[in-house]
Amino acid sequence: MNDQGSLAMESILKLQPRLIWKNFHTLTRIPRPSGKEGKVKEFICSFSKGLGLETTEDRAGNLIVRKPATPGMESRKGVVLQAHLDMVPQKNSGNTHDFGLDPIETIVDGEWVRADGTTLGADNGIGVAAAMSVLEAEDIHHGPIEALFTVDEESGMSGASGLLPGVLLGEILLNLDSEDEGELFIGCAGAMNAVFSFPIDDETLPFGYSGFIISVSGLKGGHSGMDIHLGRGNANKVMNRLLHHAFLHHGLRLASIEGGSLRNAIPRESRARIAIERDRSEAFLRDFRAQAILIQQELMQADPDLQIDVLPGGLPETVFEEHALSRFLRAVHACPDGVMRMSGEMTGLVETSNNLAIVKSLPGTVTIECLLRSSVDSSRDDLQMTMQSLFELAGALPSFSGGYPGWKPDRASPVLKTMQAVYEKVFGEKPRVSAVHAGLECGLIGAAYPGLDMISFGPTIRHPHSPGEKVHIGSVAKFWTFLVETLAEIPGKS
């Protein structure tokens, strides 16, 4: 461990409650991007078996750990504590962090804990650490406990979708994957992955052109569900706007493009390699800089650090065929992005949205990846048809996959009433009750376990899925107190 890592550990281990911060820091030392959870699963198995607890792995790769009730609590309803093991791997441009090998370097920054230029993994590492702490603690009261550690939540929810009926024994599920302390979530959005592939032939670049590299960077990005309503810039939309304008007014030719990296993160960066006729280059550069200033002014409030640059670059050997390029640019320009509709049932809740997440060129094709979200399945299906119609008209091949249901709010939930009463008793105020425009695993788990009483809650986390991710220290203490007190108040079996 380097000096910075040692300092981070020393700082975090001084935070309260020490048990949860100890477990979270241990998780930050274990690489765990989606699809590569092997090391963290080995650690959890060793941890739980070291406590003498029953530990199993299901066919989807999820871990289930069971802890008996404390004496006198055996007749209480069983509680499933659920959190996902994987994290989103995002880092700042130029950062050399290897998410498959390197530990996350954490920093205590005033009231917050953040990482050094990468995602922190508090989403959902704090939830995992809380479940671990319940398993480890010897001084709390609870009925039968199951800790369900799911895999692959961030890249497809295959762990939750592969969970079979009959595996879980509990009657109540507490999902520890929300990001606003003091808020109880009773519903979430469903989602659908969309991929559109443009067949594009390359052609030799004619003589008399100059090459340039265009880059868009410095955007905040963020979670494509939790942050989609904040009006932040989308690097793919910004880049396409620049390219389309230059195509129409200066005859731009495109050689390659790459923007965004994850379907559930608002894209922060994009890079394109282009060519402009030499005798039109000066006019292009003047116009480009004017367009860049306009876009920066538009996004000044939401993204004050937006950088738009154009630099000389080597001449590409080939560029996209002109008519196919026109269809591609127009389709991306027309592609819906951001909030489509707000909820009519819950004030301030986004109902339906789309994230234009990834644009990437490969030899002979350009691929566009989007993530459609909605708490209303019919609205999501309508958005899917809108986008399918748009891209098919432009000559792209559509593909949809990974659809999962939303979680319908139940205001009559018995555990909701219990948790509302506990929160008011402990903190002297009522918790907020809401739904979230994000893909919690509750929707999938509830489909496999109809009737399971579910609530999602957690500490305050800001800017998840981006290098700006941070968790509020004081909220972690409240979250832990609330969890412990809730477990003690779970009623008996009916």
- Rounded-to-integer distance, Cα 238 and Cα 218, Å: 12
- Rounded-to-integer distance, Cα 320 and Cα 198, Å: 11
Task: Report which DSSP code applies to 455.
Answer: E
**Single-letter code of the amino acid located at 261:** S
- Rounded-to-integer distance, Cα 405 and Cα 383, Å: 15
Please, are residues 240 and 310 in contact by the beta-carbon 8 Å criterion? no
Active-site residue identified among 37, 105, 136, 153: 153
> Scanning the structure block, which residue is given the tokens 């920066």?
296
Rg of the chain over Cα atoms, rounded to whole angstroms, equals 24
Active-site residue identified among 37, 86, 171, 369: 86
153 annotated active-site: yes
Report the SS3 class of residue 382: helix
- Rounded-to-integer distance, Cα 84 and Cα 408, Å: 21
Cα angle, residue 429 at apex, residues 428 and 434 outer, rounded to 5°? 150
Please, are residues 183 and 431 in contact by the beta-carbon 8 Å criterion? yes
- Rounded-to-integer distance, Cα 83 and Cα 176, Å: 6
For residue 393, what are its two tokens?
């008209």
Residues that are catalytic: 86, 153
